[in-house]
C-alpha cells in the first residue's frame, strides 16, 4: 500500500468526521449550540436543549460518520490502491480511517478545531472494528447511566472498559492498543466533566420541557 493511500484515507476520513452535525442542526433552528448548556456540539447537549428528535438525529449521524469511515472509505481506498484482498493492509486502512474520523469530530476544522467528545463517532468506528467489544461497553454504559443518570460518567466508564472488552473478545494486541488510545482520547475530552463529577457540580441528564425555545447561556463550570 503506497503512503499516498494512507494519507488520502486519513484526510478523507478526517473531513467526513469533521462535519459538525450538532452545530448544523442547531443552526437550522436558529441556535448556536456552542452558546447554551455545556457548549458542546455533541448529541447530549442537543438532546437537552433541542429535544429528543434532534438529539437522536445527531447521535445517529455522528455514529454513521465513524462507521462510514471504516466500512466505506477504508474499503474504497483499499480496492483503489491494492486491487486485491490484502486483509492486513485493509485493517490498517480501517484503523487509520476510524481514528481520523474521530479526530475530525473532536477537532473539526470548521469550528476552529473545537468539536465534540467523540463518543457517538467512536461507537460507529467500533461497529466496523470491534463490534463484540462495542456490545460489552454499551451494556456498561447503560448500567452506569441507569444507576447514576450521568451521561459523562457512563461514557467515561465505558471508555475505560473498551480495551479490556477488546481483549476479552479475542482481538490482537494491536487492536487492543488502538482501542486503548481511543479510550484515552475519549476520557481526555471529558476532563471538564471529571472535574465537575469530583466537585459534585456535574448535571444529571434531563430533557428541557421546551427544548425549541431553550436558550440557557453556556455553563462556565
- Do residues 57 and 156 share a domain? no
Q: How does pLDDT run across 144-193, given as a tens digit for each residue?
A: 999 999 999 999 999 999 999 999 999 999 999 999 999 999 999 999 99
Q: How does pLDDT run across 15-58, given as a tens digit for each residue?
A: 999 999 999 999 999 999 999 998 999 999 999 999 999 999 99
- Do residues 51 and 25 share a domain? yes
User: Do 130 and 166 form a contact (C-beta atoms < 8 A)?
Assistant: yes
- Do residues 149 and 54 share a domain? no
- Do residues 102 and 147 share a domain? no
Domain contains 121: no
The residue range of the domain holding 181 is 130-202
- Do residues 8 and 86 share a domain? yes
Entry pTM: 0.91
Domain contains 53: yes
The CA-based dihedral angle spanning residues 54, 154, 99, 31, taken in that order and rounded to the nearest 10 degrees: 30
Domain contains 208: no
DSSP secondary structure string for all residues of the chain: --HHHHHHHHHHHHHHHT--HHHHHHHHTT--GGGBTT---SHHHHHHHH-HHHHHHHHHHHHHHHHHIIIIIHHHHHHHHH-S--HHHHHHHHHHHHHHHHHHHHT-GGGTT-----HHHHHHHHHHH-HHHHHHHHHHHHHHHHHH--HHHHHHHHHHHHHHHHHHTT--HHHHHHHHHHHHHHHHHTHHHHHHHHHT-PPPP---SSGGG--PBPP--
- Do residues 169 and 109 share a domain? no
| Residue-level pLDDT at 85 | 63
How many CB atoms are located within 10 Å of the residue 178 CB? 22
Domain contains 66: yes
- Do residues 111 and 136 share a domain? no
- Do residues 2 and 54 share a domain? yes
- Do residues 57 and 93 share a domain? yes
Domain count, the chain: 2
How many CB atoms are located within 10 Å of the residue 195 CB? 12
Domain contains 168: yes
Amino acid at each position: 500500500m503506497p503512503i499516498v493511500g494512507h494519507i488520502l484515507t486519513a484526510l478523507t476520513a478526517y473531513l467526513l468526521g469533521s462535519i459538525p452535525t450538532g452545530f448544523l442542526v442547531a443552526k437550522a433552528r436558529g441556535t448556536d449550540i456552542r452558546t447554551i448548556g455545556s457548549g458542546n456540539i455533541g448529541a447530549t447537549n442537543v438532546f437537552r436543549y433541542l429535544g429528543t428528535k434532534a438529539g437522536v438525529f445527531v447521535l445517529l449521524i455522528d455514529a454513521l460518520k465513524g462507521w462510514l469511515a471504516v466500512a466505506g472509505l477504508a474499503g474504497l481506498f483499499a480496492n483503489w490502491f491494492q486491487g486485491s484482498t490484502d486483509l492486513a493492509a485493509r485493517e490498517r486502512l480501517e484503523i487509520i480511517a476510524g481514528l481520523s474520523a474521530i479526530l475530525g469530530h473532536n477537532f473539526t476544522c470548521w469550528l476552529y478545531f473545537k468539536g465534540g467528545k467523540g463518543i457517538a463517532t467512536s461507537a460507529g468506528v467500533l461497529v466496523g472494528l470491534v463490534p463484540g467489544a462495542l456490545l460489552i461497553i454499551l451494556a456498561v454504559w447503560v448500567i452506569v447511566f441507569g444507576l447514576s443518570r450521568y451521561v459523562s460518567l457512563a461514557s467515561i466508564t465505558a471508555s475505560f472498559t473498551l480495551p479490556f472488552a477488546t481483549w476479552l473478545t479475542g482481538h490482537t494486541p494491536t487492536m487492543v492498543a488502538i482501542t486503548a488510545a481511543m479510550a484515552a482520547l475519549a476520557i481526555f475530552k471529558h476532563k471538564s466533566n471529571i472535574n465537575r463529577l469530583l466537585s459534585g457540580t456535574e448535571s444529571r441528564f434531563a430533557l428541557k420541557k421546551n427544548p425549541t425555545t431553550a436558550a440557557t447561556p453556556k455553563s462556565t463550570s
